[in-house]
């Protein structure tokens, strides 16, 4: 379990929870972790341990069990899906690795499968992580346009590499780096910016104003290679109607490619296979990752329009595990499970149930500013009062640890948003139990 945005290592809420839950086994492993790993925000030192992960559940070394509503966005199909584990065991027995200069049937099949899911004839490249995939997409955009500048959004996250950090907008991944990031990485305010979030402008008009800002910069610069954006921010924040259509039109009219980062939101989590399908927009490049490996193995993919296959004379993603048959098998089986079990539709249904219930139970709560989301990505904004909508991170953190004490783990985003992201395989009964835990903790905090 990682520390969350806005969560202090020394807060009273965290200290009380640690004291109540950490047995000798947990404490010993946490101490070893802190001594062995380089320390960094949002990771080491850790808040707890994990010894087992199955379905929607994680269990620490002391035996405490939690429903995992975070999972670093990898657990779309839950942990240890039996069908996936069986497929991986078979693949390990038949072909465990493939050097780059040799191809293999399972990797080709995965590339063909992903290409068929794209909205245009596609070419595909695999990487071992989403950050690398974002940088491959940026290299393709440079090669195809002959330009180097990018437009992206403050508060966004696209990975921890230098290129991905450059187009990303989270301070945690930018402010510590001495010296400049990539030149030409321009940023504008995201949808649901400060003015929209805290009532300084109407959400619809503000959303379109943010789209107009992107249009202004694209036209003013005139030589952008790409726009890089998240179709829905995993905070979660849903874009206002027409936002992405406007940004896409601006990019197209100025010759910039549209790169959509579906790393946390793709593969059905929002109720449609690609989150950008909600907004009626067609990007030029799509990036997938995280859950593509089924919550077991790391794999990411870049899906590009076939006519963007223009970089064959130099290496754009020359990775040792570029065509690893085991990670490819994980991705293929994950796609099969999502399709065969109808998980995208299930995510839409579960999300609708959850949002309706949360609006009914917490919609009038004095410390709840907004309840929002799509599919199995939804959240509750904790504020000091409903009129000012000012964030209340201290209260949000107390709610987080109250929920942890009752066996529910989730991410605290932007300091004050209870970000709930259950697997698409969760039973309705378990979802109901988790929502009851959240409702009780919020009402107690109010």
Given this structure, which CATH class describes domain 82-340? alpha beta
Q: Which long-range contacts (CB under 8 A, 24 or more apart) does 26-35 make?
A: 26/60, 26/61, 26/62, 29/61
Residue 146 backbone zone (phi > 0: left; psi -120 to 50: alpha; other: beta): left
Q: What is the pLDDT of residues 183-229, one digit of tens each?
A: 999 999 998 765 565 555 454 456 688 899 999 999 999 999 999 99
Instruction: Give CA 130 to chain center in angstroms.
Output: 10
pLDDT single digits (tens) 89-144:
999 999 999 998 899 999 999 999 999 999 999 999 999 999 999 999 999 999 99
The fold for domain 13-77+343-445 equals: 3.90.1150
β-pairing, 368-374 vs 377-382, is: antiparallel
Percent of the chain with pLDDT over 90: 80
Q: How confident is the model at residue 388 (pLDDT cuts 50, 70, 90)?
A: confident
pLDDT of residue 16: 72
CA–CA separation, 401 and 152 (whole Å): 34
- Quick one: CA dihedral 94, 115, 165, 158, positive or negative? negative
pLDDT higher than threshold 60 for residue 351: yes
The band of 180, judged by pLDDT with boundaries at 50, 70 and 90, is confident
Tokens 């927009």 locate to: 281
pLDDT at 253: 98
* pLDDT at position 387: 83
Residue 342's Cβ-side half-sphere holds a number of Cα atoms within 13 Å equal to 5
Checking if the pLDDT of 4 tops 50, the result is no
Burial (CB count within 10 angstroms: exposed 0-12, middle 13-18, buried 19+), residue 44: middle
DSSP 190: P
pLDDT at 45: 85
**CB of 2 within 8 A of CB of 47?**
yes
Residue 88 Cα distances to 55, 148, 318, angstroms: 17, 40, 24
Q: Please tell me the total number of residues recorded for the chain in this structure.
A: 446
Choose among 11, 392, 20, 421: nearest CA to 3.
11
Confidence of residue 74 (pLDDT cuts 50, 70, 90): very high
> What are the sequence ranges of the domains in the chain?
13-77+343-445, 82-340
* Phi/psi-derived region of residue 110, left when phi > 0, alpha when psi is between -120 and 50, beta in every other case: alpha
In DSSP terms, which residues pair with 32 in a beta bridge?
Answer: none
Q: Residues 423-441: pLDDT tens digits?
A: 999 999 999 999 999 999 9
Average pLDDT (321-326) is 96
Helices (H), 58-202: 82-94, 105-117, 130-145, 162-167, 194-197
């Amino acid at each position: 379990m990682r520390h969350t945005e806005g969560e202090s290592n020394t807060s009273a809420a965290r200290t009380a929870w640690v004291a109540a839950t950490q047995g000798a086994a947990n404490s010993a492993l946490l101490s070893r972790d802190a001594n062995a790993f380089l320390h960094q925000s949002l990771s080491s030192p850790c808040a707890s341990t994990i010894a087992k992960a199955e379905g929607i559940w994680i269990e620490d070394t002391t035996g405490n069990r939690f429903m995992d509503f975070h999972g670093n966005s990898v657990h779309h199909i839950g942990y240890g899906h039996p069908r996936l584990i069986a497929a991986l065991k078979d693949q390990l027995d038949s072909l465990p690795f493939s050097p780059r200069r040799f191809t293999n049937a399972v990797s080709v099949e995965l590339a063909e499968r992903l290409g068929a899911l794209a909205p245009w004839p596609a070419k595909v490249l695999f990487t071992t992580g989403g950050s690398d995939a974002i940088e491959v997409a940026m290299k393709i955009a440079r090669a195809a346009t002959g330009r180097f500048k990018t437009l992206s959004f403050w508060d966004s996250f696209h990975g921890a590499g230098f290129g991905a950090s450059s187009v990303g907008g989270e301070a945690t991944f930018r402010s510590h780096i001495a010296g400049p990031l990539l030149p030409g990485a321009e940023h504008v305010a995201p949808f649901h910016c400060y003015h929209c979030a805290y009532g300084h402008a109407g959400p619809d008009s503000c959303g379109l104003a943010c789209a107009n800002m992107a249009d202004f910069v694209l036209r003013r610069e005139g030589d952008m290679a790409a726009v890089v954006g998240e179709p829905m921010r995993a905070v979660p924040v849903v874009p206002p109607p027409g936002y992405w259509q406007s940004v896409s039109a601006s990019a197209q009219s100025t010759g910039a490619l549209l790169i959509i980062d579906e790393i946390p939101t793709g593969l059905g989590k929002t109720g449609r296979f690609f989150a950008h399908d909600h907004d009626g927009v067609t990007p030029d490049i799509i990036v997938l990752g995280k859950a593509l490996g089924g919550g077991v193995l790391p794999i990411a993919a870049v899906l590009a329009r076939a006519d963007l296959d223009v970089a064959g004379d130099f290496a754009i993603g020359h990775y040792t595990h570029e065509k690893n048959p085991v990670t490819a098998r994980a991705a293929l089986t994950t796609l099969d499970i999502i399709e065969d079990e109808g998980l995208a539709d299930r995510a839409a249904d579960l999300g609708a149930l959850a949002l309706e219930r949360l609006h009914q139970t917490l919609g009038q709560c004095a410390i709840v500013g907004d309840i929002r989301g799509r599919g199995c990505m939804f959240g509750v904004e904790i504020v000091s009062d409903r009129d000012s909508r000012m964030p209340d991170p201290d209260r949000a953190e107390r709610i987080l640890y109250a929920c942890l004490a009752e066996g529910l783990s989730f991410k605290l985003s932007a300091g004050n948003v209870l970000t709930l992201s259950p697997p698409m395989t969760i039973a309705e009964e378990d979802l109901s139990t988790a929502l009851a835990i959240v409702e009780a903790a919020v009402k107690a905090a109010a």
